[in-house]
Structure 1
């Protein structure tokens, strides 16, 4: 695999569709508008914004998004049914994802049909969508468990009928990045005229890795959600995919990452799914340093222990003082509190700092440190 991408990558964020399908999550219309505006303003080029066939409330929300006149293309999710597609058209939508189950497991045990029926359903729904002049992504639900030769057949039908891309879905999140790369590469080679989009889930904790693998294999579009929201264990996180593209792949998708922290917190509140402090890229404490070796290294030069500047994603660095701290970290923490602590003083305080942290089972707060410093100063004066 090459380390630097040679092709353009377009983010299709599905926070407003698959993100809202997280069990128990509901966004109000006002929240959807705010999220859409935020994502549009940072440069996300496509937003999967809902499922119009769900009912009038959903259609009203989609129409409200259409009325915003965003730069991002709005695309809706639809079953491969004319009625679903018409519901999207009625909302003013000009781009649709039409989804079909493509694995033998789902064809037989969910649809209770056969492969021939799936191909005919694709022809019928895609034909209608293209007659209406729509941009069409053909979504292959459960592509990761489907027969590759059958996927090639479907992609050839889609290509010949004017579809714009094919969505390869790891619906159950069961792939590893190596298998994802091989499958997407095979499809890209077999039907090079049709763009591929990858949609990954995090059931095995590999959604972001699989998304990047699919992109490296030739996929031009990738689905993401803010904070990795989504069915079950969630989808590939927008913030993780974008930073991985920039740092690991040498590809800048044109996203203003400095607002990631702001957007992450907003979606966390709206979804009632608070962002864990250790969440990759956007967690409040992912730029925290405690151990003596790491704190000393990052104080000397942040690049020693940080792959990128926390300000790049709207965060800041924290020097934590606790059981594993060293004198450099202690001196720096006191400096941030406005106290110039000599290294000799820091060395004298270290045993007490570690003992208190051990007893409290947590790092020390500014108040804890001020009290220790005051007590030590008193002892030094008394001596």
Structure 2
């Protein structure tokens, strides 16, 4: 049986790098517990090198003794790692810039220095923690041969997982699949894709990486993260199960409640049409669609909304027909003649024009009761 893909959540690290987002201790604990209760595989919980307040929150998370691996994010700098060790986390992610752009113009160093520094940090971490993730920052803009060289060196050093980061969000699925296949065939170490969503392809790229042989993907709740965010946990988890037919440990029915917690903690409203967790994603307005799902849900259903703790609903818009009105009334134990139905529909359409949006079922019933 194929190995299950690991969902490595970084809401508490990369998610908190989203502009204007800062989680206090109660929010961090609530998010961590919700994700763990749902069955997440790993939590990246922050950056201890940021200082006392951040390190304290991470230490508090460690003290909860949650049944999941907690890791921290670190630059390829020993002082960062020392700050992580003091929190008591089980694992560390050591991030190394891999593109010439960043090696030369961010670090002002060369490849030789980077490999040497990587070796020092990994060997040091091996003495202090039980799990090491080597993060390859800006790997999507790096020389592929240099990435391969890093992978081979990481194998010698005993790294547990390698994270290929599309830091700028510039990859597309076909490129991911054909390029990353080479790395998956080369590496004896499990590979993870950390996808950013600058061009709206983070989820698709994550699935392509899995198809290419990657064993883990980075995710955040709602896609929260730096700039346009990361691959969304809920999208990746559902797509793994229903598109790739992969086993998913996560309890998908908890996705909506987790998203609500993160939305409140980050003060970011969930868009109505946001896949999986948006309020409208299982709502049907067109008469054709409503008729279709009444006959067989599979006519307009990719997967059952009940599998993610949701249900189908209908709304009344300009495409609504009389039979949709009749259906709703009968479901509520009401019966009207055809003339009354047409009158009610006319009033609803007038109200829709005034509000410039569809009406929810309860709003339509309000019109019925006031007529």
TM-score w.r.t. length of structure 2: 0.95
1:111 counterpart SS class = coil
SS across alignment from 2:174: helix
CA displacement 1:101-154 (0-9 Å, x = unmatched): 000111111111111111111111111111224311100000000011000000
How far apart are residue 311 of structure 1 and its match? 2.3
**Is 2:222 the counterpart of 1:227?**
yes
C-alpha separation in 2, matches of 1:281 and 1:370:
29
User: Is the counterpart of residue 8 in structure 1 residue 4 in structure 2?
Assistant: yes
Equivalent residue number for residue 291 of structure 2: 296
Q: CA deviation at 1:361?
A: 1.8
Which of 99, 102, 112 aligns to 2:108? It is: 112
Paired residue total: 370
Q: How does 1:249-328 map to 2 (within 5 A)?
A: 249-328=244-323
C-alpha distance in structure 2 between counterparts of 1:292 and 1:343, whole Å: 17
User: 1:179-214 CA distances to partner (integer Å, 9 max, x unpaired)?
Assistant: 1112211111122x1110100000000010011111
Question: Which position in structure 2 is the counterpart of 1:131?
Answer: 127
2:84 is the alignment partner of 1:79 = no
Deviations 1:252-301 (A, max 9, x none): 22111111111101100100111111111000111110101001111222
Residues 293 and 326, structure 1, Cα contact 8 Å, conserved in 2: no
Task: Indicate yes or no: 2:35 matched with 1:25.
Answer: no
Q: Deviations over 1:220-239 (max 9, x none)?
A: 11100001000000000000
Q: 1:257 to 1:367 in 2, by over 3 A?
A: closer
- SS where residue 106 of structure 2 aligns? helix
TM-score by length of 1: 0.92
Q: Is 1:217 aligned with 2:204?
A: no
Output the CA distance in 2 between the equivalents of 1:341 and 1:300: 22
SS of alignment partner, residue 12 of structure 2 = helix
- The answer on whether the counterparts of 1:15 and 1:225 sit within 8 Å (CA) in structure 2 is yes
Q: Secondary structure at the match of 1:17?
A: coil
Where structure 1 has 5 or more consecutive residues not aligned to the other structure, the ranges are: 376-383
Partner Cα distance (2:190, 2:367) in 1:
62
CA positional deviation for 1:360 = 3.7
**What is the rounded CA distance, in whole Å, between the counterparts of 1:297 and 1:103 in structure 2?**
51
Correspondence 1:38 to 2:34: yes
How well do the aligned residues superpose, as a CA RMSD in angstroms?
A: 1.8
